[in-house]
Amino acid sequence: MSLVRVHNFSVSLDGFATGEGQSLESPFGHAGERLHRWAFQTRTFQHMHGNAAAGGTGVDDAVAGTWANGIGAEIMGRNKFGPQRGPWQDHEWNGWWGPNPPFHTPVFVLTHHSRPPVEMEGGTTFHFLEATPKEALRLAREAAGGLDVRIGGGPTVVRDFLAADLIDHLHIVVVPIILGRGERLWDGLEALEKRFTIESVTTPSGVTHMTFTRSAASTSDA
């Protein structure tokens, strides 16, 4: 059974999953690194960026490290892919991640502006498409060959997939900061908790991991 999963998705206490004012220098706007510091400190993250020996191996790392297991494709929003808006101007831009992105699968970037696919090193290919969550998921499932599909964010994309009831596993990380402005995750999702079984655990870094697991026998694998 192929699941649709969200991992390591950090939100502030006031519900913002990214700050205001994204730019090339500030992928998360005024939030800076504050939402993701817990993740940067893990071995999973350090390893992903070539520092094989660095990073903690505690509970934060154990939870963070499940993000790639059994994933066959990712769907992400255009703002996760880069800071450009409107028609593509800079065709040299291939994401924040350098020549060998950490995905190593097909990645479907949702955008209103078409662009040819880009094949990167290490098995990542970026496909650009305009599609509803359901259509995008159908394509990603085909590409995933029976493996799971990850919804990579940003907040608008995660929210849209939750609203369409297409998420089976949602891992969010509540970070005890008040961002005040940016993009909210929870808007329009009243009573979301009724569709999930929720577990929470606080770790010594100060964050709270919450897993939302689809409760019903039904899944998104229709």
Residues that bind its own copies (CB under 8 A): 13-15, 174, 176-181, 184, 186-193, 198-202, 206-208, 210
Nearer to its own copies, 54 or 198 (CB): 198
Q: Considering the complex, what minimum distance in angstroms separates the CB of residue 14 from its own copies?
A: 4
Q: Considering the complex, what minimum distance in angstroms separates the CB of residue 153 from its own copies?
A: 17
Q: Considering the complex, what minimum distance in angstroms separates the CB of residue 28 from its own copies?
A: 15
Q: What is the DSSP string of 35-98?
A: TTHHHHTBHHHHHHTT-TT-SB-SHHHHHHGGGSTTEEEEEEEHHHH-S--SS---TT---TT-
Nearer to its own copies, 64 or 71 (CB): 64
Q: Considering the complex, what minimum distance in angstroms separates the CB of residue 198 from its own copies?
A: 5
Q: Considering the complex, what minimum distance in angstroms separates the CB of residue 102 from its own copies?
A: 28
Which conformational region is residue 38 in: left (phi greater than 0), alpha (psi within -120 to 50 degrees), or beta?
alpha
Nearer to its own copies, 70 or 180 (CB): 180
Nearer to its own copies, 3 or 31 (CB): 31
Angle (CA) 120-111-169 rounded to 5° is 80
Give CA–CA dist 47/49, Å, rounded.
Answer: 5
Give me the sheet containing 208-214, strands edge to edge: 118-119, 125-129, 106-110, 71-77, 148-153, 4-12, 169-175, 208-214, 196-202
Nearer to its own copies, 144 or 179 (CB): 179
